[in-house]
A and B are shown apart, each in its own frame.
Chain A
Amino acid sequence: EIVLTQSPATLSLSPGDRATLSCRASQSVSSYLGWYQQKPGQAPRLLIYDASIRATGIPARFSGSGSGTDFTLTISSLEPEDFAVYYCQQRNYWPGTFGPGTKVDVK
């Protein structure tokens, strides 16, 4: 089973700041890496898939990059609604494992 590690565990930032979240896989997952956002009491929402493709309706301030084992989610300028937990997920191998999450909270 592929293990995903996310860093940092918590990111404390202010609205308007740039957020950079990392995800590292225990072995190559090619470009089959996605990012999900989850707010308290809500289901996860797909933001990015295949490392860099924004899902339908996702604002351009969200961008993804990387391949192989190292990936990054960047939020160019944080909006108030962006404070949430972000999970990366690989889908190169079954089971498609999720990372432990990065919480982006208000500084």
Chain B
Amino acid sequence: EVQLLESGGGLVQPGGSLRLSCAASAFTSSGYAMSWVRQAPGKGLEWVSVISGSDGNTYYADSVKGRFTISRETSKNTLYLQMNSLRAEDTAVYYCAKGVTSWYLAPLDYWGQGALVTVSS
């Protein structure tokens, strides 16, 4: 059974950094597009970043471009999101999600349970 398990969330001060991890099981994540989608408390969904499974290209929402970095470690079947220069508006549950295919804009068919990131002093 496909599973995605996020970790690394927590409380961080404005301007601080945090790295989220997403451990995949029952499939080889490098062969699929892998994404991070966030949801601020009581709000809707925002597709933050994706790494293509075909060419490794990465894409970011304008709201995080230059501050967040998505990457993958094939040997560990794990996806990461390095978040720097965090702001209060980055407070959200961050979901890791698997694309149906390797294309970066593929629909997201499996999701993790989410990791809460709170940016506050």
Residues of A near any B CB (own CB < 8 A): 1, 32, 34, 36, 38, 43-46, 49-50, 55-56, 87, 89, 91-92, 94-101
Distance (whole angstroms) from the CB of A89 to the closest CB of chain B? 8
Task: Collect the chain B residues with CB atoms within 8 Å of residue A100's CB.
Answer: 44
With a cutoff of 8 Å between Cβ atoms, the chain A residues found around residue B37 in the complex are 44
Contact between chains at A55 and B107 (CB < 8 Å): yes
- A98 and B106 form a contact (CB under 8 A): no
CB <8 Å contact, A101 and B109: no
A2 to B107, alpha carbons, bound, how many Å?
17
Q: Are the CB atoms of A98 and B46 closer together than 8 Å?
A: yes
A46 and B107 within 8 A (CB): yes
Give A96 to B111 CA distance when docked, in angstroms.
16
Q: Is the CB of B44 within 8 A of A98?
A: yes
Across the interface, name the chain A residue whose C-beta is closest to B60.
Answer: A95
Q: Which of B40-69 contact A (CB under 8 A)?
A: 44-47, 50, 59, 61-62
Q: Do A32 and B105 touch (CB < 8 A)?
A: yes
Chain B residues contacting A46 (CB-CB under 8 Å) are 107-109
Q: How long is the Cα–Cα vector from A56 to B107 in the complex, in angstroms?
A: 12
Instruction: Determine whether the beta carbon of A44 is less than 8 Å from that of B95.
Output: yes
Query: Which residues of B line the A interface, CB within 8 A?
Result: 37, 44-47, 50, 59, 61-62, 95, 100, 104-109, 111-114
| Smallest beta-carbon distance A99→chain B, Å | 7
Q: In whole Å, how far is A91's beta carbon from the nearest beta carbon of chain B?
A: 4
B residues in contact with A99, CB < 8 Å: 44
Q: Which residue of A lies closest to B113 (CB)?
A: A43
- Whole-angstrom CA separation of A101 from B42 in the bound complex: 11
A91 touches B95 (CB 8 A): no
How near does chain A come to B92, taking the closest CB pair, in angstroms?
13
Judging by beta carbons under 8 Å apart, are A91 and B105 in contact? yes
A96–B47 contact, CB under 8 A? yes
Q: Is the CB of B59 within 8 A of A45?
A: no
Contact B107 A98 (CB under 8 A): no
Q: Is the CB of B111 within 8 A of A44?
A: yes
Which 3 residue pairs across A and B have the least CB separation, nearest first?
A43-B111, A49-B107, A98-B45
